[in-house]
Amino acid sequence: MARTHDHPGEQAAHDPIRLLEIRDTPLSVDEIFRAVGDEAAGGIALFVGTVRNHDEGQDVGALGYSCHPSAQDEMRKVAEKVVAEFPVRALAAVHRVGELAVGDLAVVVAVSCAHRGEAFDACRKLIDDLKHQVPIWKHQRFSDGTEEWVGAC
């Protein structure tokens, strides 16, 4: 997508990647929202992934996330690709690891752009690519005693 800079306010931010982390503490939507604030942004798209109580017809009793030591570097590669493809003003992504309960926030990503359509598209690309490319694994334990590992976010 071509970037236009017809107005001085549209000039690219110095480093649009504002926050990228994998952490074992609860996530904050407000923190991520604040991280992508930008006066030249007319749209902010935010995605929140939560732990649900079921998966493929089974009741989820507990789950945990773990990651490969390279996961942080892979998150950066995904973020840099999104910034290169879309006119991103600011971008943030945080994924949680460790044991999570139903309802907990597992991942929060946000993107701000000059226009809403660009923000939606960039945010979707960000979460989809994080899910498929970053080595974070989910270990689900079902209420019937069975369990499974899922190969990505």
Q: Please state, rounded to an integer, the average pLDDT across all residues of the chain.
A: 92
Tokens of 65: 């996330």
pLDDT for 3 beyond 90: no
CA triple 47-120-43, angle to 5 deg: 95
Name the percent of the chain lying above pLDDT 70: 90
Q: Per-residue pLDDT tens for 54-99?
A: 998 999 988 999 999 999 999 999 999 999 999 999 999 999 999 9
- Which of 147, 153, 150 has its CA nearest to residue 61? 147
Q: % helix / strand / coil in the chain, to the nearest 5?
A: 30, 40, 35
Listing DSSP states for 73-98 in one string gives HHHHHHHHHHHHHS-EEEEEEEEE-E
Is the distance from CB of 70 to CB of 135 less than 8 angstroms?
A: yes
Tokens of 14: 């110095």
What average pLDDT score do residues 42-62 get? Answer: 94
Q: Residue 118, SS3?
A: helix
Instruction: Look at residue 153 in the predicted model and tell me its pLDDT.
Output: 47
Alpha-carbon gap, residue 74 to 80, rounded angstroms: 10
pLDDT for 7 beyond 60: no
CA atoms within 13 A on the CB side of 16: 27
pLDDT for 25 beyond 80: yes
User: In the 8-state DSSP scheme, what is residue 53?
Assistant: S
**11 CA to centre of own chain:** 24
Instruction: Look at residue 14 in the predicted model and tell me its pLDDT.
Output: 79
Q: DSSP H helical segments within the chain, as ranges?
A: 29-35, 71-85, 116-133
What average pLDDT score do residues 11-30 get? Answer: 90
Q: Per-residue pLDDT tens for 137-147?
A: 999 999 999 99
Residue-range domains of the chain with CATH: 13-53+69-134 (3.90.1170.40)
Tokens of 91: 């971008």
pLDDT for 113 beyond 80: yes
